[in-house]
Structure 1
Amino acid sequence: MTVRLEQLRRCHFAVDLGAARTRVYVKGAGLVVDQPSVAAVNTRSGSLIGVGDFAEQMTGRTPGYIRVVRPISGGTVVDIEMAQRMLRQLLGDKIRRALRRNLRLRAAACTPHGADPLAQRATIETLVGLGARRVELVDTLIAAAVGCGLPVERPEATMIMVCGAAATQVAVLSLGSIVTAERVPVGGEAVDQAIVQHLRLEHQLILPSQSVRPLQLALSGNGLNSQGPASAEINGRDVATGLARSVRINTAAVRGAIQTPLTAVLDGIGKVLRACPPDLVADLADRGIMMVGGSALLPGFDQMLRQATGIPVHIAERPDICAAQGIGAMLEGRIEPLVLNPLVA
């Protein structure tokens, strides 16, 4: 990681391309962009109508000639051209002009753990299209661990869980490297879909796209805990008639529906712990798991993991921006690597 840090210190800006949100960190300016990874396009003319928050508000409310697209899926760029156009609009003319002043513009980007070469190439081409001459890739797990203040450079175990929209990544870090890691294709979107399917099957109700988030349901009190409210009233559209209808749902049944996708996350944690050396597992018994990512804010999720694993579980202070803060700290040179000098006989 010593060489990588030296290369990162030469970069001028960094990008965290997430399935839910895109964040841009500019060296010397800090986090300048934190917007949803959404773009609205006029299909007749091909022009870009809006990006970020403005485009997300259009979801499910547009006429036929306006299409809302997400060029990033699971941390991977699936539409390079649209991702470039979205980033240009999010950065704005002022920031782009400031970046162009660097004759050899260098960029860094977070990539999911185990990303295949095609996914890495798509990320590189996206930033090259913005004018970057060289692009450095950083594992999201390491960037998030640095961003939440974990001592990743020390010879001791730290466990981090990045709860994203499309996937959950779990890893044990030591000496600035990943000892063992697991990527589970279950994230906040899977939790949303579990709620949608439950309401559709049990109550014949379709939720509006903007009301799917579980935080907006009655679970906002005590989340996945049984001490939460017993029922809640939900507004939606009737499956058969298409008319607006409100129903009172049993929150215990909704919690049961959410437990199903979260079980896969528990299995991923178990795989990581079984593949980890015993000495490092002993360290984790005291330090526990650090949760980062937007889905880490699901109420009661940390307590459920604590009960299932028997080890402490902590949520970062700003879990949603930890990866962007971590890669920004690397750019600014605030991370000092542990130098291992070979012994001279």
Structure 2
Amino acid sequence: MTVNLDQLRRCHFGVDLGAARTRVYVRGAGLIVDEPSAAAVNARSGSLIAVGELAERMTGRTPDYIQVVRPIAGGTVVDIEMAHRMLRQLLGDKVRRTLRRNLRLRAAACAPHGADPLAQRAITETLVGLGARRVELVDTLIAAAIGCGLPVERPEATMIMVCGAATTQVAVLSLGSIVAAQRVPVGGEAVDNAIVQHLRHEHHLMLPGQSVRPLQVALSDNGITTQGPAQTEIHGRDVLTGLPRSVHVDTAAVRDAIETPLTAVLDGIGKVLRDCPPDLVADLADRGIMMVGGSALLPGFDQMLRQATGMPVHIADRPDICAAQGLGAMLEGRIEPMVLNPLAA
């Protein structure tokens, strides 16, 4: 997946289809959509009831004939028709009419590193359904690195970790290209899952679908490290009786529960470093790792990586929207590649 900046400057809008949130950047207007990748559907008629934030709030609270679906999983579109319908509603009639005035409407989209041709085609067909005549795909790693201000075009190493809901992507970049990269099938959802299973097995407590993130926040700034609070109170439903119940959870046990998914991320970082030339690894000793993505905000995650790798670890200012911002910067023509002219004989 080669980034062609000349082609990207001709694109009218860019889309970052994430498993957790969908973001749309329109050239000249900025980031106009930042909503959960969810849609509520009437199973009897097939009609769309709600999308985005409202559909997300409906999760676990609907009657049987209403289903909340997620057409995007792991950065890959798994239901093209539903993703298309969701995007249409998120954009709204006014924006769609404005975009369709361009006779040769062009779009750009972020694609996960190493996405297979089928996954790339699904993303392309989703945007073609919105009227795009041509779709340019950009590696999420490059878009996120540009969005958080890393000097990706220079001949020096920069390391980025995109912490998504379903996957974590790690890469070392130099001269505007990916030198080594690894995609780990572990993300924020795996951490949520580990906490839910721990509470179910150890405390017989079932959590509401939207209370896992508050649990992580309750662990404070040093949440998954030993400097965090010793205990925290959790409200949920008793598995045996079905009645509401509160328990005091030992946060050390929670840290143990999420150790397995986080260890997989560390293994991915180690593999990327082993695949890199020694000169680039030496650059990273000073610059360290830049964390982006919504799951980068997991309390204490950066501190854990710092202790495990011995490298500096930084979190971007707005880690959740870095990929969309990077895509927008390329659309607006704010990125100039390093020109390498061949030497005269």
Tell whether 2:207 aligns with 1:235: no
Give ranges in structure 1 of 5+ residues lacking alignment.
Answer: none
- How many angstroms does 1:215 deviate by? 4.9
Partner of 2:61: 61
Distance 1:292 1:338, change over 3 A: same
Letter in 1 for 2:126: T
Distance 1:120 1:220, change over 3 A: same
Letter in 2 for 1:87: L
Query: What TM-score does the superposition give when structure 1 sets the normalisation length?
Result: 0.98
Q: Is the 8 A contact 1:218 1:251 kept in 2?
A: no
Across the aligned residues of Structure 1 and Structure 2, the Cα RMSD in angstroms comes to 1.1
Letter in 1 for 2:38: V
Q: Is the 8 A contact 2:223 2:229 kept in 1?
A: no
Instruction: Write out per-residue CA displacement over residues 279-299 of structure 1, whole angstroms, 9 at most, x where no aligned residue.
Output: 000000010000000000001
Q: Is the 8 A contact 2:14 2:26 kept in 1?
A: yes
Partner of 1:149: 149
% same residue: 85
1 CA distance for matches of 2:92 and 2:216? 32
Distance 1:215 1:236, change over 3 A: closer
Partner of 1:87: 87
- How many angstroms does 1:319 deviate by? 0.2
Q: Is the 8 A contact 2:165 2:188 kept in 1?
A: yes
Letter in 2 for 1:232: T
Between 204-213 and 187-196, report the one with greater CA deviation: 204-213
Partner of 2:38: 38
Which stretches of structure 1, 4 residues or more, deviate above 4 A after TM superposition? 214-217
1 CA distance for matches of 2:256 and 2:158? 31
Partner of 1:267: 267
Q: Is the 8 A contact 2:216 2:298 kept in 1?
A: no
Distance 1:3 1:270, change over 3 A: closer
- How many angstroms does 1:2 deviate by? 8.9
Alignment of 1:126-137 (within 5 A): 126-137=126-137
Number of matched residues? 345
Tell whether 2:312 aligns with 1:312: yes
Letter in 1 for 2:228: G
Distance 1:197 1:141, change over 3 A: same
Distance 1:125 1:97, change over 3 A: same
Q: Is the 8 A contact 1:215 1:299 kept in 2?
A: no
- How many angstroms does 1:218 deviate by? 2.8
Q: Is the 8 A contact 2:105 2:134 kept in 1?
A: yes
Q: Is the 8 A contact 2:39 2:68 kept in 1?
A: yes
Q: Is the 8 A contact 1:200 1:239 kept in 2?
A: yes
Alignment of 1:1-345 (within 5 A): 4-213=4-213, 215-216=215-216, 218-345=218-345
Q: Is the 8 A contact 1:217 1:232 kept in 2?
A: no
- How many angstroms does 1:3 deviate by? 6.8
Instruction: Write out per-residue CA displacement over residues 199-236 of structure 1, whole angstroms, 9 at most, x where no aligned residue.
Output: 01110110000112255553134211212211111111
Letter in 2 for 1:11: C
1 CA distance for matches of 2:147 and 2:170? 16
Query: What TM-score does the superposition give when structure 2 sets the normalisation length?
Result: 0.98
SS in 2 for 1:209: coil
- How many angstroms does 1:239 deviate by? 1.1
Between 9-18 and 243-252, report the one with greater CA deviation: 243-252
Q: Is the 8 A contact 2:76 2:123 kept in 1?
A: yes
Letter in 1 for 2:142: I
2 CA distance for matches of 1:283 and 1:15? 32
2 CA distance for matches of 1:180 and 1:259? 25
- How many angstroms does 1:305 deviate by? 0.3
1 CA distance for matches of 2:32 and 2:7? 22
Q: Is the 8 A contact 1:25 1:31 kept in 2?
A: yes
Distance 1:3 1:182, change over 3 A: closer
Letter in 2 for 1:97: R
2 CA distance for matches of 1:162 and 1:5? 22
Distance 1:214 1:284, change over 3 A: farther
1 CA distance for matches of 2:302 and 2:181? 19
SS in 1 for 2:119: helix
Q: Is the 8 A contact 1:192 1:214 kept in 2?
A: no
2 CA distance for matches of 1:267 and 1:55? 36
SS in 2 for 1:314: strand
2 CA distance for matches of 1:3 and 1:118? 19
